[in-house]
Structure 1
């Protein structure tokens, strides 16, 4: 991303987080989802950097951040651990309080961060997700068919890892192209960067562990906090043509989890920041 510098920050427990940062003004954390890296923000981050100090990390297990081996309870890739990474990163860069935008997995990290680190978060945007526990609780045949990786990636190792590594590019391309509804939104240069970071055995294992954690330890943490509510103002954005937008009343799902919620559908699929960047940028600036 032009104008951004790359930094590698040790955040504890042997984890190093790679991040791109630029700009001046209030700090703004942008967290990507699966199967992307921080590069997913390339179409909106430069404009945001005109108003904010923008920090775009690679989540633990993704991009050029550390990819530790998973453990039996999948706590290594719990959203609690991943949220703690991001708070430590922002503090290391001098930001005690910040606004945050999370797409897909990054939004799930943001949900946990909002509960575990309330004082750090000023505003939260979640992009194209309903809460994890809600989505599992309401799973039916239609959802399971369209979001099959939620159930494939959580299978015990090394089954999904071995199958994906048999043809990583095919799996990754199928995943991206099924979810995008705007043709060409992920241009080849971006796809090749995602592929570079995805294709290592450690990277594929990390992805599977991220999803295994979502189906186990993250649900335990959610159950323990079932009465807790996000205090920071929350904006939910989603693609009107995607699975989440067609399956859920997205705002209603977040009203169950947060005190101050608003929402907006965009004319795209799963990745508004890549598919409809101008509309996404406008919505982000209006809220942030």
Structure 2
């Protein structure tokens, strides 16, 4: 792992009761904050945000989602349940319990935001506050598919094709594919991506099992996750929700982000940042400040109880 990215953090490999091992970076003291990364990245994407949260008085836990980074890549199932957001959220609950945290604040970018959404629905007692970065709800995005969405996020439809088509095509040159995603979705130039972080992304993505697992993540999103979302269509997230998005990215361009999340949550605040998709790397200071302010309200509330 790239320890230089997270100076002062401890790297842990924690085996969950399911037998799945999750790699996590842990640093700081104080109220716990769980940070979940997105595609096609690892927990390294938080390298510029996590230390700022630690400096603000939080304990930060930044894991690699199952299938990603240095976490295990369990074999999938025909119904894609293995990579459902429900299964991935359960990983995070078990991880936090093993680290001694029954309740915590939560932030997720991209796929991590979708895991966070499901975690807040399935385990509401565990989540004090939740932030999602540069996503609209999965069901909303699929229901409103148009040419702009399909063009900008073609990978949503490419990765869900039956195995092994996308796996073989990506596997022919995985580093080119990964770097093309960073270039297409980021709007701040390649220099915002720290070379050590990109090297970690590439190292993980060279593993065919990682490519297969990440495809399964998207196949689950287009199948079993939608079934779970439909079953919970009447439910709303009740804890405070912060939404952040890049105004230069597709989500910011196609959606009234706060409004679509108010269809899913009772207490929503948010704002756009003048960047593309990768907020933790394109706007780390602004992202960290927004998270600290949002989570600090929770911390102050606890101290005043």
TM class by smaller structure: over 0.9
Give 1:112's aligned residue. Answer: 118
1:287 aligns with 2:294: yes
CA distance in structure 1 between the partners assigned to 2:34 and 2:27 by the alignment: 11
1:282 Cα offset (Å): 1.1
Give 2:38's aligned residue. Answer: 33
Secondary structure in 2 matching 1:285: helix
CA distance in structure 2 between the partners assigned to 1:3 and 1:143 by the alignment: 40
User: Pairwise mapping of residues 1-288 of structure 1 onto structure 2 (< 5 A)?
Assistant: 1-50=6-55, 51-183=57-189, 184-288=191-295
- Deviating runs (4+, > 3 A) in structure 1? none
Higher mean alpha-carbon deviation, 177-186 vs 145-154, is at: 177-186
Summarize deviations over 1:164-213 as a string: whole Å, max 9, x none.
00010110010111011111111222111100011111000000000000
1:12 Cα offset (Å): 2.4
TM-score (norm. length: structure 2): 0.94
CA distance in structure 2 between the partners assigned to 1:76 and 1:142 by the alignment: 30
CA distance in structure 1 between the partners assigned to 2:129 and 2:95 by the alignment: 18
Summarize deviations over 1:69-107 as a string: whole Å, max 9, x none.
111000000000000000000000000000000000000
Summarize deviations over 1:115-155 as a string: whole Å, max 9, x none.
00010000000000000000000000111011000000000
TM-score (norm. length: structure 1): 0.99
Aligned length: 288
CA distance in structure 2 between the partners assigned to 1:112 and 1:106 by the alignment: 10
Secondary structure in 1 matching 2:16: strand
CA distance in structure 1 between the partners assigned to 2:196 and 2:206 by the alignment: 16
Secondary structure in 2 matching 1:36: coil
CA distance in structure 2 between the partners assigned to 1:30 and 1:145 by the alignment: 29
- Structure 1 unaligned spans of 5+: none
